Amino acid sequence: AQSVTQPDIHITVSEGASLELRCNYSYGATPYLFWYVQSPGQGLQLLLKYFSGDTLVQGIKGFEAEFKRSQSSFNLRKPSVHWSDAAEYFCAVGVTGRRALTFGSGTRLQVQP
Amino acid sequence: EPEVTQTPSHQVTQMGQEVILRCVPISNHLYFYWYRQILGQKVEFLVSFYNNEISEKSEIFDDQFSVERPDGSNFTLKIRSTKLEDSAMYFCASKILQGPGELFFGEGSRLTVL
């Protein structure tokens, strides 16, 4: 079965600093990869997704992620973090033939002024 | 922009009571899901539903849980006899296509079991 690991439970960055959130997956074939963001008390909003093609994908709010097959990773990046980016970020994987997404445990991002 | 809506936003119930959480998926979507998130923990898959039947369920989705699409628009999750450990945020999601498409999530229903 597929699995997703987000090794960082909590990250704190200063406003304006760059950000990288790590995501590693375990699956025998190429998975379909997603990053969702959850603001406090809110639902899950899709930031970006990778199905195939260009391994660098652009998302909303200035986020991007790069799929690296050799490292089984799909790390989320943003060059300059804004205070409004403080939230919980979830990486998720979907695979062909299985209809549900599997989520990682999440990374809580705190932004310092 | 179309969205998934969930009611109630918060429900408090006594242990042993039945609870029904309601969801209105996006109108042209065909696949429906329930996930739950216990406070501070990961988002866990409960069940998926397509063509008026369950297509997949997790080990969490035991006999206490049931889902229904009673009228072509609502999608409900029923917990027959709630337990303390059912306290969580329950998210409904929908998807238009088969395969790896994006899930659109509602804002969740927080269930507190006392």
Looking at residue A40, what is its pLDDT? 82
Chain A residues whose C-beta is within 8 A of a chain B C-beta are 32, 34, 36, 42-46, 49, 51, 90, 92, 94-96, 98-106
Q: Which of A90, A92, A99 sits opposite B31 (nearest CB)?
A: A99
What is the interface size between A and B, counted as CB pairs within 8 Å? Answer: 54
**Residues 60-89, chain B: which have Cβ within 8 Å of A?**
none
Output the DSSP codes for B26-56: -TT--EEEEEEE-TTS-EEEEEEEETTEEEE
CB B105 within 8 A of CB A44: yes
Binned at pLDDT 50, 70 and 90, residue A2 comes out as confident
In chain B, residues with a C-beta closer than 8 Å to the C-beta of A95 are 100
Q: Convert the pLDDT of each residue in B26-47 to its tens digit.
A: 988 989 999 999 988 889 999 9
Strands B109-113 and B10-13: parallel
Q: Convert the pLDDT of each residue in B51-101 to its tens digit.
A: 899 999 999 999 999 999 988 789 999 999 999 999 999 999 998 876 667
